[in-house]
Amino acid sequence: MTISKVEPAQPLTAGFVSNHTRMVTVVEYTSLRKCVKCHELKEASEFYPRPGGRYLTAECKECMKKRSRNRVPVDRKVSTVPSETDVIAELHKQGIPALPGKALGQQWADVIAYGAVLIEVKSAKRHYRGSYNFGFTPSQRAGKLRGDLVVLVCKHDDGNTFHVFYANNPVFYGDDGKLKTGIAWTPNAKHKGRFISLTDEMMYHAQDNWDLVEDHLTKICARLTMGYQLPIRLIAA
């Protein structure tokens, strides 16, 4: 019997009892390994090594090949998130070239305009209490908004409205400087409760304010002209 050098192998006959004495339990190891997909016991050579080479994949080669044959190719130029697709369409209407972040290898950026301006998209339907609630994820809260701009998409029954903000707009941040867990807009709210942070005035001013995209591009160009060393993800701070 051989012991797999690559990973502790499956005990094929775990609990095997020696012929000589029933008191001693001998566990025999083999190089056979069970595939988590087809559940067949196969030789270690039937598995690919993982990056680093110390371990083997959980699925056998055959199962992995089968999976990649059946994989539907993803079109990275098309977002799978409807609100992102809507924002991209809206930018195109303004004559601004835009793509989903992942089309440019920026997985966490929802939309990138001019190949440089990073845009986060948040969308909300009207809550039954009349508000539009935009939530931020815990990972966004941990590291601020990573986009340059935030587009809030309000989904109305008869279509969307788009509200464009700078990501560092104080309205998104609490007194401690941290990103809020979320932000709400209640149109025509008569009583400004403590949870209303987006006012009608702010939202109407920000509506279709796509000029901010050009504005930020200009800032990027200015920094480039001044000879800033650009990090790989361009200027986002």
Binding residues (CB under 5 A) for Zn ion: these are 35, 37-38, 60, 63
Strand ranges across the sheet with 149-156: 98-100, 111-113, 117-125, 149-156, 159-166
> Cβ of residue 38: shortest distance to Zn ion, in angstroms?
3
Residue 94, C-beta contacts closer than 8 angstroms, at least 6 positions apart: 210, 213
Contact 164, 213 (CB under 8 A): yes
SS3 184: strand
> Which C-beta is closer to Zn ion: that of 60 or that of 179?
60
> Which C-beta is closer to Zn ion: that of 67 or that of 92?
67
Query: Residue 31 is which amino acid?
Result: S
> Cβ of residue 63: shortest distance to Zn ion, in angstroms?
3
> Cβ of residue 56: shortest distance to Zn ion, in angstroms?
12
Backbone angles phi, psi at 179, to 5 degrees: -60, 140
> Cβ of residue 12: shortest distance to Zn ion, in angstroms?
17
Backbone angles phi, psi at 214, to 5 degrees: -65, -45
> Cβ of residue 39: shortest distance to Zn ion, in angstroms?
7
> Which C-beta is closer to Zn ion: that of 9 or that of 35?
35
> Which C-beta is closer to Zn ion: that of 67 or that of 156?
67
> Which C-beta is closer to Zn ion: that of 33 or that of 122?
33
> Which C-beta is closer to Zn ion: that of 41 or that of 234?
41
Sign of CA dihedral 72, 76, 77, 80: positive
Sign of CA dihedral 75, 77, 80, 86: negative
> Cβ of residue 108: shortest distance to Zn ion, in angstroms?
33
State the number of CA atoms in the 13 A half-sphere of 167 facing the CB.
Answer: 24
